[in-house]
Amino acid sequence: MISDSDLIALVRAYNPKTNEALIRDAYAYGAKMHEGQTRHSGEPYFTHPVEVAALLTEQRLDDATIVTALLHDTIEDTGSTFSEVERRFGSEIAELVNGVTKLTNLELSSTETKQAENFRKLFMAMSKDLRVILVKLADRLHNMRTIKHMRPDKQVQKARETMDIYAPLSGRMGMHWMREELEDLAFRVLNPDARASIIRRFITLQKETGDVVPKITDDIRAELARANIEGTVYGRAKKPFSIWRKMEEKKQSFSRLSDIYGFRVITNSEDDCYRALGVMHRRWSSVPGRFKDYISQPKTNGYRSIHTTVSGRDGKRVEIQIRTRQMHDVAEAGVAAHWAYRDGERVENPFAVDPSTWVSTMTERFDHADDHDDFLEHVKLEMYSDQVFCFTPKGEVIKLPRGATPLDYAYSIHTRIGHSCVGAKVDGLRVPLWTRLRNGQSVEIITAEGQRPQPTWIDIAVTGRAKSAIRKSLREEHRDRYIKLGRELTRVAFEHIGKKSTDKALETAAKELSLIDASQLLEYVGSTELSAREVVTALYPELVDKADMDVVDSKRPVVGLPEGVQVKRAACCQAVPGERIVGIKYKGEGVFVHAIACDALVEFEEQPERWLDIRWHAGRHAASNAVTVALTIGNSFGVLGRICTLIGEQKANISDMHFIDRKPDYFQLLVDVDVRDAEHLHGVMTAIEADSDVATLERHRDLSRKP
């Protein structure tokens, strides 16, 4: 365990004016309070707070934050109290310790309604003092580094919470090194086979090509020297989870993935950044669509850098980030750079974002959320999404999350513009409302009086602000009808278990489900945002047949169909439960379910009367949804049999198989696999792609197969 003298030495290295007596006193107090306590590993418990404090010294944080790390578990796990900590160490530290204690007690991975309430508390704590979350993130990082000593079920719970909440949060705060490590540590627990597969392939690649990182680093240094640009160059292979995520997003195998190496160029000035960019692009071919200038358009957390991807040595794609030393400090520390010390003084970094400003940009839209679901949607989108920058016809910049559509753009300008939107032009060309916007595009919204939001817009919109405004408008328009329908649905559900749907019962259920009143509950049931059985379960869980509730009728797999209308899955996109969908009416044939991103929907753009707002029934679907996957596999003994076995092990059935091409060294084939939902399909494809003899794997969609 690090001694108090060693810890003080770590702080003194960047802050010679540190209050050594304060840190020594906090160290002694924490050791005394945790005396006799042990961790799962058998080590003294106090080793954990000390390691957390040491992690925070790497970010050059102030004395109050270091002391808070030493004491962060005292109020929760020992006989210490807030009053005692305040008396000994002052109100600032006591409030910070208390804030960390409250965060520790939040169940951020609980049910969605409770999760939303706890997210509110999380952001309230952040708004008071962001150092609270810095200590909590360091606490989580050390716990993840030592997670192997916990029970397997606890490891999975903590890893999932880390992947879903703490890793994205650290990324949004600009602490990308922490995000990468948290993701990789969680990945090690959640999918160890996939991680091991990535590492094995890396080793094989290095044996075949050698370690290319130092070679490319030397190439970049030589080019900078030739142009008389002073700069430092760092290179590294990307983390296993980062590579896995790229494989999933691009639906490519490891052998097809090219940009698995990243390089940073640290220059002395902003001018040198752009000069270095010119050098890189003159020496190597830039990859179209892979350039981002975060110096001229900084991220909200203060991040500034130029990103470009080039075809480097031997045609390998490499990502290069170019920035100044001050920009690099913010890129490493993120929002924490605001508290950083150097030589005993707070560092005045012009690029560090004021934490209060950053938190307000994160939370300003949350206050407008009508309910828990809207709030949770806001939070997760803000934490997970990167940004795209679009321009108004007048040249003003509009920031949106990646994947945003013209509808999101319209609502970001004003709710009135969004409500009256009938079309959009991107770079002067008319486009469908579900078009995904890209960086640098100019967007013009076409409006019309009398236009109202359509139900299908919910699936088209991406931002919480747009979704919330659309839902609110639809509710107001259809509220009376929804309440009437909801009353009838709940009456039937209550009668099914021998109970009556009284006003008091509905009010009690609304309270249990954290809704305003019975009217809102009935409205939600009528609009299918809440099922009648969920209402019954809230009051009489012991009377509800769980199995019956969870299994979805395969003849009626979607919600929102007119009575008596048949529904089929469109063959062109093969949508499965878990994916966003829309219904298209076909005369005499019923309704066909299309994935919201299906290219075939373009032909129905001018026929809004044929569109239906539908969604999959909640619950467990039968494994009867055929999805076609395209495979390229090695032509060697036993490979095809092994692939079939892998699919069977995932509890999926092969309903058809068709060979496209047979070569001496490989086969190309299409396989129809019957799955339950998108998660089941993901598991099947992951299992197949991990096989070393699978060269390519992707989901096959065929627009020629019309309904």
Rounded-to-integer distance, Cα 279 and Cα 49, Å? 47
Beta strands (DSSP E) in 635-665 are: 653-662
Query: 179 near 303, Cβ under 8 Å?
Result: no
Q: At what angle do helices 131-145 and 63-71 cross, to 10 degrees?
A: 50
Structure tokens at 540: 């009489």
3-state secondary structure of 262: strand
Query: Edge-to-edge strands of the sheet including 590-595?
Result: 567-569, 590-595, 581-586, 611-612
Number of DSSP helices (H) and strands (E) in the chain, helices first: 29, 22
Query: 462 near 408, Cβ under 8 Å?
Result: yes
In sequence order, which ranges of 105-148 are alpha helices (DSSP H)?
112-128, 131-145
Rounded-to-integer distance, Cα 275 and Cα 599, Å? 42
Name 470's Cβ contacts closer than 8 Å, sequence gap at least 6.
411, 418, 453, 457, 458, 461
Name 525's Cβ contacts closer than 8 Å, sequence gap at least 6.
482, 485, 486, 489, 490, 531, 532, 535
Strand bridging mode 317-324 / 261-267: parallel
Could you tell me which CATH class the domain 4-190 is placed in? Answer: mainly alpha
Query: 303 near 174, Cβ under 8 Å?
Result: yes
594 strand-pairing partners: 582
Name 527's Cβ contacts closer than 8 Å, sequence gap at least 6.
474, 475, 478, 482, 486
Q: For position 620, what pLDDT does the model report?
A: 76
Query: 132 near 100, Cβ under 8 Å?
Result: yes
In sequence order, which ranges of 231-371 are alpha helices (DSSP H)?
240-250, 270-283, 325-333, 355-363
Query: 52 near 66, Cβ under 8 Å?
Result: no
Q: For position 235, what pLDDT does the model report?
A: 86
Backbone angle region of 660, left / alpha / beta, with phi > 0 → left and psi within -120 to 50 → alpha: alpha
3-state secondary structure of 336: helix
Q: For position 111, what pLDDT does the model report?
A: 45
Structure tokens at 314: 């031997």
- Residue 512 vs residues 185, 518, 527: alpha-carbon distances, Å: 36, 11, 19
Query: Edge-to-edge strands of the sheet including 429-431?
Result: 429-431, 421-426, 443-447
Q: For position 337, what pLDDT does the model report?
A: 64
Q: Choose the CATH number for 551-707 among 3.30.870.10, 3.40.630.10, 3.30.70.260, 2.40.128.50.
A: 3.30.70.260
Query: 592 near 646, Cβ under 8 Å?
Result: no
Structure tokens at 389: 């920058």
For residue 437, give the H/E element and its range. none
In CATH, the number for domain 385-462 is 3.10.20.30
Tell which residue, 634, 643, 638, 641, has the closest CA to residue 693: 634
Segments making up each domain of the chain, as ranges: 4-190, 205-346, 385-462, 551-707
Strand bridging mode 443-447 / 421-426: antiparallel
Tell which residue, 466, 326, 347, has the closest CA to residue 403: 466
Q: Choose the CATH number for 205-346 among 3.30.70.100, 3.40.50.150, 3.30.460.10, 1.10.10.10.
A: 3.30.460.10
pTM for the full predicted model? 0.54
Q: For position 124, what pLDDT does the model report?
A: 61
Burial class (CB in 10 A: 0-12, 13-18, 19+), 409: buried
Task: Determine phi and psi for 558, rounding to 5 degrees.
Answer: -120, 160
Taking residue 87's Cβ as centre, other Cβ atoms within 10 Å add up to: 11
Structure tokens at 511: 């309270």
Tell which residue, 103, 9, 25, 121, has the closest CA to residue 71: 25
628 strand-pairing partners: 672
Q: Quick one: DSSP state of residue 13? A: T
Rounded-to-integer distance, Cα 132 and Cα 100, Å? 6
Rounded-to-integer distance, Cα 701 and Cα 434, Å? 19
Exposure string of 214-237, with b = 16+ CB inside 10 Å and e = fewer, is eebbebbeebbeeeebebebebeb
Beta strands (DSSP E) in 339-384 are: 341-342, 345-346
Binned average pLDDT, 10 residues per bin, the chain of 707 residues? 89 87 93 89 90 89 91 85 90 87 62 51 64 88 90 87 80 80 90 82 70 84 92 84 71 56 90 93 83 83 85 74 88 67 58 58 51 51 59 79 87 90 89 84 88 84 83 78 83 81 90 86 80 84 58 79 84 88 87 88 84 82 90 84 85 88 84 88 82 84 74
Active site residues: 76-77
Q: For position 547, what pLDDT does the model report?
A: 39
Strand bridging mode 590-595 / 567-569: parallel
Q: For position 257, what pLDDT does the model report?
A: 53
